[in-house]
Structure 1
Amino acid sequence: MPKIFLTSTALAAALAAPAFAVEKTDVLATYIDMGQAKFEDSLSTAKVLQEKVDALVADPSPQALDAARQAWLAARIPYQQSEVYRFGNPIVDDWEGKVNAWPLDEGLIDYVDDGYGGPTDENELAALNVIATPEFTVGGATIDASEITPDFIEGVLHEADGVETNVASGYHAIEFLLWGQDLHGHEAGAGERPWTDYAAGDDCTHGNCDRRGDYLKAAAALLVRDLEFMASQWQEGGEARAALEADVDAGIVAIVTGMGSLSYGEQAGERMRLGLMLNDPEEEHDCFSDNTYNSHFYDGVGIRSAYIGSYTRVDGTKVEGPSLSELVAEADPELDAELRAKLDATVDALLQMKIAGDAGFKYDMMLERGSEAGEALIMGGVNGLVDQTRSIERVVSVLSLDAGEFEGSDSLDDPSAVFQ
């Protein structure tokens, strides 16, 4: 995938590093503490989701299904704000695919509409429906799927046969099991999975309700287990915390890299511009629940949070302290003011998208070809993210950071390649 290169690191290294009144160690400490808080909040909301999932499976009803869906939506809020920690911290990036991988071939997990299709050359398991298949074959080996457990999902099914779209765990697998496929195309409406998909006996719809409940419970338990691991990495003595504290300059680079890569290649490119170019509702991040506009908004909030050194927890308390913004302001006050203004403008653009989505103009409707209002909302976010990345690049030079490169995207760097 093409990359967007930062200002020459050779030139940056040749410049004398400026002296700062704000200590880099204090800036990094704020960043670490916010990371701990974000992953702890992600864990606590995932535990609530697990409780609601368990209640749904134990006593299915329309109310229980709605409660589980609301818990899933709430769990996305702190997690999306943690994504700015992904690209600058290898321990997070290596782990992220277990909890937030997308897109997924949902036919691997459960029943799908006839229009979904069957196995493909790229993925022979694309329509496996493991919930209805207690035994199957991969690469000539027979797989016992009679018991669906967290270990089975993690160790056998997730990315089975080496195919990345065989996403069996994480938020989006759970999302599919709560909402089902969104079959509305560009029209209003999310997935409409009935609560009876978890009912017992003759009330069960689409068959295998007991195994579907087993899968949903196992996936929720696995999400909690994965988030417990990551939350522990940011606590005192945790690997993520220790790695940053061991090299303060590299830690500052991690902050900037996370901001730039999420802003540019991941969010502006892969999650927003690409879907708009293809006018494809399947290219929306939370495609089953129609929650994509919220996920984009909270990603933007998370990027700004990393710069200004302030995070508002799910209980309303704040984690804040010396920030990268203060460090940049000492070296170049105009750049700091510029970047803060751009971050605010991007969050505002994403907020306009969120307001429209909450009012009923959903993200897949925005993606429809010919929707001028939808394109304006999405491109408002894309343009803001790209614009703020240019200022983030300048931070590298101003602070004389020995940084690498930000993630890129064909949709931004080589649009013609998208259609090849």
Structure 2
Amino acid sequence: MSQRLVRRSVLGLALGLGLGAVTGVATPAFAQTAAAKASKLDARAVAVGYSELVYANYSDSLGSARDMQKAIAALLAAPSKETLEAARKSWLDAREFYGQTEAFRFYGGPIDDENGPEGQINAWPMDESYVDYVEGKANAGFINDPKFKITKANLAKQNERGGEENIATGWHAIEFLLWGQDLSETGPGDRSFEDYVDGKRANADRRRLYLKVVTELLIDDLASVTKAWAPGQKNFRAQFDKGGVESVRKIIVGLGSLSRGELAGERMEVPLNSQDQEDEHSCFSDNTHRDMVANAMGIQNVWLGQYKRRDGSSLKVASLADLVGAKNAELSGKTSAQIASTVKATEGIQAPFDREIIGGADAPGRKRIQAAVDSATEQSKLLVQAANAIGITKLTLVQP
């Protein structure tokens, strides 16, 4: 999987709420209350609505990535400041949609089961020298190794080989190839378009090929997870829709794990503690602040059963908030408010993120990030209470 936490054992999360602890993602431990069974809005409706939302979000992520692919093709055909800037913008635009899909992780679904492509799509942090030159190492990386054949199969094979920072594929490999190392305290990386011009930089032809191939691989992987959620097919979605309370349990596992383990933990607490740019999620483009917002929005989308599509239309489906509200309206409202607070807190984090993490505990940037950590942590506790309210008494949430 892509982050360090995913390699750690998955722990049953009690969070001081008296819930039973369990180990192992596959444990099908849950219970359904009579009240939940009697509710007009049942677990199946929520599962079906969730599937619709997931498919819409993955479809938008795939569509925006294909737009990025077109912009990258234009850059490779005619490298210039303008085409490089357009490719960068397309990457940033596409990340807005992918970031929201991370609410669909952590329960062994198509994105991150044993054969899932998550680590190939979004692995980080990245050792840049594994792919291309870095400051002081002009000949580093596969791009500068003429013996290495640049193909999708080879890049996939080399991804995370020999170390979790040996990242050869995905969003962040593309990000590095568009921005280069971030050596600035005030802005992102500043790779020159001349890196892609023959005669201007060594191995420009191989760099062009690498960027082309790694983008194609990302498209393939996004297409595979989108297909797994397509309606009317014999796929993961077909089984998920029939899963009832167990599917709802998985949904809450995904939201709670992203809230505490990934968003609050790996993406904010770790860099807060280390104050190291290398622990920043999208460090080359300085887009980490938007990654946080997109993740928080993804959680809110699922909880409320809502999603704003790429074409501007709005999707509304049966929601967890309503299912919980039928049993405990006060708790549902409190959870909705806390999730909204987390979105607002992440929106308050300023760019560049690598400067927000610097300083003492009272530094304004660190306080902004800590507020988001605290809010996301609290919402994870409320999500466990929400699960308990509808009879789901045991969860397997990933912790930091």
**Which structure 2 residues correspond to residues 318-329 of structure 1 after superposition, within 5 A?**
318-329=314-325
Are 2:387 and 1:396 equivalent residues in the alignment?
yes
Query: Equivalent residues in 2 for 1:137-148 (5 A)?
Result: 145=148, 147-148=149-150
C-alpha deviations, 1:139-191, integer Å up to 9, x for none?
Answer: xxxxxx2x31222211x321224x2221111000000000001012xx21111
Give yes or no for the alignment of 1:160 onto 2:156: no
Does the 8 A contact of 1:260 with 1:389 survive in 2? yes
**Residue 200 of structure 1 contacts residue 210 of structure 1 at CA under 8 Å; is this kept in 2?**
yes
TM-score computed with the length of structure 1 as normaliser: 0.86
SS at match of 2:208: helix
Report the CA distance between 1:15 and its aligned residue: 5.9
Q: How does 1:295-314 map to 2 (within 5 A)?
A: 295-314=291-310
Q: Is the 8 A contact 1:310 1:320 kept in 2?
A: yes
Corresponding residue number in structure 2 for 1:60: 79
Q: How far apart are 1:90 and its partner, in Å?
A: 2.9
Offset at residue 54 of structure 1 (A): 0.9
Number of equivalences: 376
Aligned to 1:190: 188
Residue 248 (structure 2) pairs with residue 252 (structure 1): yes
Report the counterpart of residue 121 of structure 1 in structure 2. Answer: none
With normalisation by structure 2, the TM-score equals 0.90
The answer to whether the 8 A contact 1:60-1:196 is kept is: yes
Once the two structures are TM-superposed, the CA of residue 47 in structure 1 deviates from its matched residue by 0.5
Q: Does 1:222 align with 2:217?
A: yes
Change (3 A) 1:88 1:395: same
Shift of the alpha carbon at 1:318?
A: 1.4
How far apart are 1:103 and its partner, in Å?
0.7
Distance 1:403 1:17 in 2: 18
Indicate whether 1:22 and 2:41 are aligned: yes
Q: CA deviation at 1:4?
A: 5.9
Is structure 2 residue 59 aligned with structure 1 residue 40?
yes
Which residue of the other structure, out of 81, 103, 124, is the alignment partner of 2:125? 103
Q: Partner letter of residue 188 of structure 1?
A: T
The answer to whether structure 1 residue 239 and structure 2 residue 241 are counterparts is no
Identity %: 35
Deviation at 1:277, TM superposition (A): 0.6
In the aligned structure 1, how far is the partner of 2:91 from the partner of 2:331? 38
In the alignment, which residue of structure 2 is the partner of 1:406?
A: 397
Matched residue, 1:366: 356
Instruction: State whether residues 263 and 292 of structure 2, in contact with CA within 8 Å, keep that contact through their aligned partners in structure 1.
Output: yes
Paired position in structure 2 for 1:142: none
2:216 is the counterpart of 1:208:
no
Q: CA shift at 1:312, angstroms?
A: 0.4
1:258–1:170 CA distance, 2 compared to 1 (3 A) = same
1:149 aligns with 2:151: yes
CA displacement 1:55-111 (0-9 Å, x = unmatched) = 111110000000000000001011010000011343212321110000111111000
User: Which residue identity lines up with residue 212 of structure 2 in the other structure?
Assistant: K
Selected match of 1:269 from 242, 261, 265? 265
3-state SS, counterpart of residue 117 of structure 2: helix
Separation (CA, whole Å) in 1 of partners of 2:296 and 2:265: 14
Structure whose residues are more often helix by fraction: 1
Question: How far is 1:12 from its partner?
Answer: 6.9
Q: Deviation per CA, 1:310-367, whole angstroms, max 9, x where unpaired?
A: 00011111121211111000100110010011011111111111xx33xxxx101101
Q: 1:402 Cα shift?
A: 4.9
Could you tell me which amino acid in structure 2 is paired with residue 76 of structure 1?
R
Aligned in 2, Cα 1:403/1:91: closer, same or farther, shift over 3 Å? farther
Query: Does structure 1 conserve the Cα–Cα contact (< 8 Å) formed by 2:264 and 2:372?
Result: yes
Which of 138, 145, 159 is matched with 1:133 structurally?
A: 145
Q: Do the aligned partners of 2:19 and 2:393 also contact (CA within 8 Å) in 1?
A: no
Q: In structure 1, what is the Cα distance between the partners aligned to 2:368 and 2:91?
A: 25
* Contact 2:345–2:371, Cα closer than 8 Å, also in 1: yes
Distance 1:41 1:15, change over 3 A: closer
Deviation at 1:17, TM superposition (A): 5.5
The one-letter amino acid of 2:41's match is V
| Letter in structure 2 aligned against 1:197 | D
Q: Give, in angstroms, the shift of residue 192 of structure 1.
A: 0.8
> In 2, distance between residues paired with 1:208 and 1:69?
21
Question: Partner residue of 2:103?
Answer: 84
Structure 1 CA distance for aligned equivalents of residues 235 and 329 of structure 2 = 34
Distance (whole Å) between structure 2 residues aligned to residue 31 and residue 273 of structure 1: 29
Deviations 1:279-320 (A, max 9, x none): 111111000000000000010000011100000011111121
**Residues in 2 aligned to 1:150 and 1:14: alpha-carbon distance in whole angstroms:** 45
Is the 1:88–1:256 Cα contact (8 Å) retained in structure 2?
no
2:368 aligned with 1:377: yes
What is residue 290 of structure 2 aligned with on the other side? 294
| SS across alignment from 1:311 | strand
For 1:78 and 1:208, the matched residues in 2 are separated by 33
Letter paired with 2:68: L
Question: Quick one: distance in 2 between partners of 1:378 and 1:23?
Answer: 37
Letter in 2 for 1:249: V
Question: What are the superposed Cα offsets for residues 251-285 of structure 1, whole Å, 9 maximum, x if unpaired?
Answer: 10111011100000111001101100111111110
Query: CA contact under 8 A between 2:32 and 2:245: conserved in structure 1?
Result: no
Contact 1:232–1:238 (CA under 8 A) maintained in structure 2: no
Change (3 A) 1:4 1:190: farther
Amino acid at match of 1:174: I
